[in-house]
DNA sequence: GAGCACTGC
């Protein structure tokens, strides 16, 4: 039954022990580094031991769920979607025969909304729990509760070997298994003195490495598009004037890069390759052949400032766990090396772990989900880390104003409908109201494009300017309507690829917007029957303004900036807005975010507040 | 004149 490959995995020696542990305990923890085989093998062991059980395995990312299902199917020599399948957004590859389902944790939360007992599964495995996403934290809370109601249910938490005691205490279990993986060692070097400018330091380190060390590709961790482009330019320049013969291929990798350009970073290169990447290469993406890692020591982190009610996207030092994760990327093939552009002393002072997501994001949609799952008092719900009470209370009150909850915080019919849509509550509210007012096509197009990121792609020094392109599509002083217009024009155009090229648009992004639109349309069919349509921009703005009632701002001439109605904070219109450099008196916005300045993103002019 | 970490439903 078990082929030789499977028997060689480190986890195999633990097979009997783990099966027994699952029999004896309701909740068990399995910790092991990547490569020990826990994710692919444990579900199969459970199935082989008791072929009647239905198993769910969650993953933070959709690609992981899909590839893992494929791998396991191959090992069991079954067709994908039969015995073993996956279920991710836009792609359900399961059947009535499916016993092992790999799914994203967001998907399992949606299943909780439909069936609060999750009766279709006998065993639930939460994988990569150490990543501490909002979804996996919430799932752990829900499963902890569910274990009291369903005594036969088995829950398995899988994670890297960190914070195990914390998970064990929280889940009240002593059944812990630690699996050693066979990974190659990575030699870590720190710079003796920290350089002021990590871009310069990065370039020097890469070149020195290139000219002195034996063959093997390099992965460099930077923080964003800007420093990646800087390093690339300088590297290419220095290589040109270098007297050394050895060539170096410079590739980039970050999520705003169109997928076809990202692919270049994976191709085998004749010369040594250096991939300049964001933390996308930390967990989401693996590049083969990496022997050297260079780590700048920083990462951009998005956090929600509770008092000011603004998001920030700022540079922060990495955590120790993150630095280890980055270094580990050098040891996947053979023994590797990691160069850190910071001192040993700086390393010692780093935080052990990054603050979990649930403690640093706005929780409006999570709280609506919790209410939809039937949690009476979300303020006292037992999560592994409790979010700020005042933030949750503020979120509850916002949901009351959006009529998702009544004054006693009970879920309304409208709230139930809102929670069924894969959108932020404001947008769910907007879409439902827009349907009722007969502006559904405009609203659907607008919301669909607003869901996707990186609509435009500008290479450094691109001829076409953003304002010129925006000018072509601009409608009614509104980013929301302008984006709806872009999607319409895209759909009407025959040659979509050249349309995108002309307008610096991202083809894959618009394709995704179309999938989103179709999905929203399908969901909306279950909520309302209304489908008459009129083209009324004023009505659109009126409904949007009501949905974004906490996101109004007024221009203050003395400050030359916008004053947010909610907090009196000053902010500027983002350069990617059609209203950039214009000064309409009243605006509504989707998001306020601090990067280099406090910016309002996706802005629409309105007549009055 | 000036900007764009990463996931997920």
> Tell me: the pLDDT tens digits for A6-41?
988 889 999 999 999 999 999 999 999 887 889 999
Q: How far apart are the first and last CA of chain A?
A: 69
Alpha carbons A587 and A40: distance in angstroms, whole number: 51
pLDDT-derived band at A242 (thresholds 50, 70, 90) equals confident
Q: What's the pLDDT at A1?
A: 57
Residue A90: nearest nucleotide (C-alpha to C1'): B9
Taking the CA of residue A300 and the C1' sugar atom of nucleotide B6, their distance in angstroms comes to 9
Question: A540: Cβ–Cβ under 8 A, 6 or more apart, which residues?
Answer: A434, A439, A442, A443, A446, A478, A480, A481
pLDDT for residue A260:
87
Query: What does chain A come to in residues?
Result: 609
**Single pTM value for the model:** 0.94
Whether the per-residue pLDDT at A473 is higher than 80: the answer is yes
> DSSP per residue over A545-592, as a string?
HHHTTT-EEEEETTTTEEEETTT--EEEE-TTSTTTT---SEEEEEEE
Least confident of A103-112, A138-147, A530-539: A530-539
Quick one: which residue's CA is nearest to B7's C1'?
A61
Express as a percent the part of chain A with pLDDT over 70. Answer: 99
As a rounded value in angstroms, the CA-to-C1' distance for A574 and B2 is 9
Neighbours of A172 (CB within 10 A): 10
A430-434, A491-495, A514-518, A531-535: range with lowest mean pLDDT: A531-535
Distance CA A456, CA A405 (A): 37
The distance (Å) linking the CA of A372 with the C1' of B6 is 27
**Dihedral in degrees, nearest 10, Cα atoms A487, A491, A495, A501:** 10
On whether the CB atoms of residues A333 and A289 are closer than 8 A, the answer is yes
CA atoms of A291 and A205, how far apart (whole Å): 15
Q: At A413, is the pLDDT very low, low, confident or very high (cuts 50, 70, 90)?
A: very high
| Bases of chain B within 7 A of a CB of the protein | 1-9
| A139 contacts A126 by C-beta, under 8 angstroms | yes
Predicted confidence at residue A463, as pLDDT, reads 61
Residue A13 CA, nucleotide B8 C1', distance (Å): 35
How many angstroms separate the CA atoms of A232 and A275, rounded? 10
Per-residue pLDDT of A257-310, as tens digits, reads: 988 899 999 999 889 999 999 999 998 888 999 999 999 999 999 999 877 788
Quote the pLDDT of residue A114: 94
**Given a cut of 90, is residue A61 above it in pLDDT?**
yes
Q: How far is the CA of A134 from the C1' of B9 (A)?
A: 13
Between A438 and A46, the more confident residue is: A46
**Distance measured from the CA of protein residue A295 to the C1' of nucleotide B5, in angstroms:** 15
Which nt has its C1' nearest the CA of A225? B4
Least confident of A109-113, A473-477, A525-529: A525-529
Q: Which protein residue has its CA closest to C1' of B4?
A: A225
- Using alpha carbons, list the distances in angstroms from residue A214 to A202, A292, A393: 19, 10, 58
The secondary element (H helix, E strand) that includes residue A367 is: helix A364-372
**Could you give phi then psi for residue A498, rounded to 5 degrees?**
-75, -30
Angle at A606 between CA A600 and CA A609, to 5 degrees: 90
From CA A204, how far away is CA A223, in angstroms rounded?
17
Q: Measure the CA–CA gap between A192 and A341, rounded to whole angstroms.
A: 9
User: Which tens digit of pLDDT belongs to each residue from A116-136?
Assistant: 999 999 999 999 999 999 999
For residue A549, is pLDDT > 60?
yes
User: What pLDDT shows up at residue A533?
Assistant: 78
Return the number of other C-beta atoms located less than 10 Å from residue A178's C-beta.
Answer: 13
Average pLDDT of the segment spanning A450-456:
92
């Amino acid at each position: 039954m078990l082929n030789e490959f499977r028997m060689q995995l480190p986890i195999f020696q633990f097979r009997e022990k783990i099966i027994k542990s699952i029999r004896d305990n309701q909740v068990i923890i399995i910790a092991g580094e990547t490569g020990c085989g826990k994710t692919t093998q444990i579900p199969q062991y459970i199935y082989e031991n008791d072929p009647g059980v239905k198993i769910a395995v969650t993953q933070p990312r959709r690609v992981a769920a899909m590839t893992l299902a494929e791998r396991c199917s191959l090992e069991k020599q079954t067709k994908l979607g039969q015995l073993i399948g996956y279920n991710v957004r836009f792609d359900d590859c399961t059947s009535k025969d499916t016993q092992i389902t790999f799914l994203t944790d967001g998907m399992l939360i949606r299943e909780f909304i439909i069936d609060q007992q999750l009766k279709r599964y006998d065993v639930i495995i939460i994988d990569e729990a150490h990543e501490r996403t909002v979804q996996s934290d919430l799932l752990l809370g829900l499963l902890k509760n569910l274990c009291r109601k369903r005594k036969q249910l088995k829950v398995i938490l899988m994670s890297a070997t960190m914070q195990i005691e914390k998970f064990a205490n929280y889940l009240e279990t002593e059944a812990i298994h630690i699996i050693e993986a066979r990974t190659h060692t990575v030699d870590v070097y720190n710079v003796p003195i920290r350089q002021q400018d990590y871009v310069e330091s990065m370039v020097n380190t890469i070149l020195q490495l290139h000219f002195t060390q034996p063959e093997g590709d390099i992965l460099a961790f930077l923080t964003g598009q800007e420093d990646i482009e800087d390093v690339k330019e300088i590297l290419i320049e220095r290589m040109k004037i270098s007297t050394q013969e050895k060539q170096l291929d410079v590739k980039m990798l970050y999520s705003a890069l169109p997928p076809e350009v990202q692919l270049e970073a994976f191709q085998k290169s004749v010369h040594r390759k250096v991939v300049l990447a964001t933390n996308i290469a930390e967990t989401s993406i693996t590049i083969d052949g990496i022997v050297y890692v260079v780590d700048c020591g920083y990462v951009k982190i998005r956090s929600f400032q509770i008092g000011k009610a603004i998001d920030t996207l700022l540079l922060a030092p990495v955590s120790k766990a993150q630095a280890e994760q980055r270094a580990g990327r050098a040891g996947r093939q053979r023994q590797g090396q990691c160069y850190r552009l910071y001192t040993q002393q700086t390393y010692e002072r780093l935080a052990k772990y990054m603050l979990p997501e649930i403690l640093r994001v706005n929780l409006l949609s999570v709280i609506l989900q919790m209410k939809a799952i039937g949690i009476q008092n979300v303020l006292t719900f037992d999560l592994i880390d409790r979010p700020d009470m005042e933030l949750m209370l503020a979120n509850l009150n916002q949901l009351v104003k959006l009529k998702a909850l009544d004054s006693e915080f009970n879920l309304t019919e409208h709230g139930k409908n809102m929670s069924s849509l894969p959108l932020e509550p404001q947008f769910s509210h907007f879409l439902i109201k827009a349907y009722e007012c007969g502006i559904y096509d405009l609203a659907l197009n607008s919301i669909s494009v607003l869901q996707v990121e990186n609509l435009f792609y500008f290479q450094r020094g691109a001829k076409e300017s953003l304002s010129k392109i925006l000018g072509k599509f601009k409608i009614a002083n509104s980013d929301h309507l302008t984006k709806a217009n872009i999607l319409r024009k895209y759909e009407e155009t025959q040659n979509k690829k050249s349309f995108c090229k002309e307008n610096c648009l991202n083809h894959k992004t618009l394709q995704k917007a179309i999938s989103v639109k179709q999905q929203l349309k399908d969901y909306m069919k279950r909520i309302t029957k209304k489908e008459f349509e009129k083209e009324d921009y004023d009505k659109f703005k009126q409904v949007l303004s009501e949905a974004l009632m906490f996101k109004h701002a007024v221009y203050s001439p003395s400050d030359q900036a916008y004053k947010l109605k909610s907090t009196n904070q000053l902010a500027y219109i983002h350069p990617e807005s059609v209203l950039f450099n214009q000064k309409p008196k009243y605006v509504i916005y989707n998001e306020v975010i601090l990067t280099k300045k406090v910016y309002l993103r996706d802005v629409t002019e309105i007549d009055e507040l």
